[in-house]
Structure formats: C-alpha cells, structure tokens
Amino acid sequence: MKAFLLAAGLGTRLKPLTDRVPKCLLPIRDTPLLGIWLDLCRQHGITEVLVNAHSHAGMVKEYVANSKAGLSIRVSEEETLLGSAGTLRANYEWVASEREFFVLYGDVLTNVDLTELLEFHRERDVAATIGLYEVTNPSQCGIVTVDQDGMVRDFVEKPAKPASNLAFTGVLIASPAIFESIPQQAPADIGFDVLPKLIGRMAAYKITDFLVDIGTAEKYERVQTTWPGLRQVGAR
C-alpha cells in the first residue's frame, strides 16, 4: 500500500517557528510531525511513502535518510511548488498500477484509523473517499454536503456561505481514476481543482478520532498538551 504525504507547505502562518525548520519537522512533544505520520502509516500496513518537500528540503531528506520507520520512503523535491494535486500528477507513474492509495496532508496531526478508512472505501465503488470532521469555522475550510447514502453531493473550498460544518480533513484515499480530474497545469490544488469534479463519485467518511490541522502557532502550542499519541492498532 502506498501513500502520498504532502509536506511541501511553507508554513507561513507558523513563522518564526518555520524560519529554520520545515513545518513537517516541528516537534509534537519530542517527535517531529513527519515522524508521527510515518509511524501511523506503518501501523496501518502502508509500506511505501512519497514525501514532497520544498522549504528546507535538505532537512527533510536528512530526516528521511535517518528514519527508522521501516518504510520505503522517497522524497520528491519541488523547486517550484506544484500544489497538492500537481504533486500527484507529477508522480502518476508511482501509483498508476495501484488499486488505491492514500493522500495525507502532512500538516495534520491525527491518530485516525487508516485501516478502517480503507475498509470503508473498499465497500464502495467510488473514485475517492475523503475524511470529514466537524469544524467551528466552516468559511475557512473545504466544506462538504453529504447525502443519506454517505456520498458527497457538494464540495466548496472556503465558501462565503457554508452549507454545512463538515470539512475536508486532508485525509483521503483514491483510485487512479482521480487523475482524470487533475488539471494539466501546475500549481493545482486538490480542494479547489479536483474534489469538486468528483461529486457523485466520492464517498464521505466521518472522522471522530483526534485530528487537528496545525496551521497556526496557537494550534501548534495547544496540541503539545492535548495530543493523546498514536493508539495501538485495533484499540479504541
């Protein structure tokens, strides 16, 4: 099983913390966020990970080279940011023959059960399944409307008038069919450019596990005391 781990963000809102350290290597207590993601991937049977990097890419490469996560990890350095969807398209051949693959946003801190998400996805004949969670600031997120069958019927990135409070978590699983909806030009964004095109072919999976998008210094400081850590697989 393969996973894209998107970690090339500049971390502008986390400055000055990200002046000398990439966002993905900021420590949660004593473990870099990237290390937590790699451990979570290994727990749930993911064996190959592609990490994209831009800001402080050399530090990311060094961390991966010294990783003891037990995974096959490649770093795709982007001299010019391709955007989340652009990274997928640039590495199409890596997943072209896969039944499905994960796409994980590296600035999210979570202990989500990826195995359960995979099982949920496989029960449905869809191009993608996206993880959702309830938010208090829907106008700042990618907001989703879901029908009674659990299918996504609308997706709007940062809507002025949100139709719900269910937001995209930055956790999704997709089949190669998703590439039909990725534009050729770069940069291209999953939320703005891809997910709206998958309406009717995309399922919704509500995440109730710990999940925080570490986009601000305030959130980063808060998770230092609220992060419960990774669970043992199968534990609830």
Alpha carbon 29 to chain centroid, angstroms: 21
Residue 217 lies inside a defined structural domain of this protein: yes
Residue 235 lies inside a defined structural domain of this protein: no
Q: How many domains are contained in the chain?
A: 1
pLDDT digits (tens, 9 = 90+) for 129-178: 999 999 888 888 888 999 999 999 998 888 888 888 999 999 999 999 99
- Nearest Cα residue to 167 out of 200, 205, 115: 205
Q: 3-state secondary structure string, 48-115?
A: EEEEEECCCHHHHHHHHHCCCCCCEEEEEECCCCCCHHHHHHHCHHHHCCCCCEEEEECCEEECCCHH
- Write phi, then psi, for 139 (nearest 5 degrees): -70, -10
Residue 232 lies inside a defined structural domain of this protein: no
d(C-alpha 101, C-alpha 109), whole Å: 19
Tell me the one-letter amino acid at 169: T
Give the tokens for residue 133: 């969670």
**CATH code of the domain covering residue 112:** 3.90.550.10
Q: Which domain holds residue 219?
A: 2-226
Please state, in angstroms and as integers, the Cα–Cα distance from residue 95 to each residue in 1, 167, 178, 197, following that order: 10, 26, 11, 20
Can you give the pLDDT at residue 140? 80
Q: pTM, whole model, 2 decimals?
A: 0.93
Give the tokens for residue 204: 């919704």
Can you give the pLDDT at residue 99? 97
pLDDT digits (tens, 9 = 90+) for 17-41: 899 999 999 999 999 999 999 999 9
Element (H, E) at 166: strand 166-174
